[in-house]
Amino acid sequence: MKRTFLFAAALLAAGQARAVELNSMTAADVAGTAIAAEPAAVESGEKASYAVKMGTIRGGMNGSPADVKINKLDWTITGGMNHSPVDVAIDHEARTIKGGANLSPVDLRFEWSKEKVLVEGGANRSPVSYLADWEKGELTGYANNAPLKITFDMKEGQAGENIVELTGYAGRAPVSLSYNKVSGRLTGAMNRAPVDVTLVNCDLYDFLQYFFLFAGRN
């Protein structure tokens, strides 16, 4: 998936401040991505277009049922997982993610480019700071009062390469996941519990940039 944003990010070692310098961009630059500018309104009768703006992640992980909806029209994430409700709103103008999840307030800021997404603030009763680097194939930083590092290869543009393996650690536990880009099924283990969820009208980019939701309760 290509991101069409202009951005420069410098990420210091975990626990230090992170600096992000933004360049100018237009609404056209950022339209249509998981973290992007406000999408165009859906006209009456465009049911198919409406449907693809409603992503879901359903199944089980972290020892809990997961049923989360990512609404890419109103830009909200709602539902339930980790035995708790999820209700957060994404404000693209302010570049914030706020609300509640995992029985904790969520107060985050994000910056982005076609290569990277940086998320910082507080969630899960813990400081949060992580960088998803699509070109490097890494999600690094910290969350849930623990270091975070997950490596992956999206295999973009490689014909027949439909399986993405994710390995690393989060929440002081190993992460070993496998994502099928055709079926949307994500399986494996993290947080010392099995993972078996299906992503519909969303993808691994959504899962990784909103990782604070899936990291589990702190």
Give the span between the Cα atoms of 155 and 180, in whole angstroms.
Answer: 12
Q: Give which of 162, 136, 158 is closest to 149, Cα–Cα.
A: 136
Identify whether 141 is part of a domain. Answer: yes
Structural contact between residues 66 and 185, judged by C-beta atoms closer than 8 angstroms: no
pLDDT value, residue 52? 77
In this structure, is residue 193 part of a structural domain? yes
Residue 23: what pLDDT?
A: 42
d(CA 35, CA 136): 19
pLDDT of residue 48: 58
Beta strands 7-10 and 138-143 are unpaired
Residue 133: burial class (beta carbons within 10 Å; 0-12, 13-18, 19+): middle
Q: In 95-150, which ranges are continuous DSSP H helix?
A: none
pLDDT of residue 158: 77
Structure tokens at 75: 């830009």
Give the separation between CA 119 and CA 124, rounded to whole angstroms: 14
State the 10-residue block means of pLDDT for the chain, 218 residues long.
Answer: 38 40 40 43 53 91 97 97 97 97 98 94 97 97 97 84 96 97 97 97 96 86
- Among 149, 194, 141, 196, CA closest to 170: 149
18 lies in some domain: yes
List the end-to-end C-alpha distance of the chain, in Å, as a whole number.
Answer: 31
Number of structural domains (the chain) is: 1
Per the domain annotation, does 98 fall within a domain?
A: yes
Q: Looking at the domain assignment, is residue 1 inside a domain?
A: no
Range of the domain at 161: 7-35+46-214
Give the largest CA-CA distance in the chain. 50
Note the pTM of the prediction, 2 decimals: 0.77
Say if 61 falls within a structural domain: yes
Is 40 a member of any domain? no
**Would 180 be classed as within a structural domain?**
yes
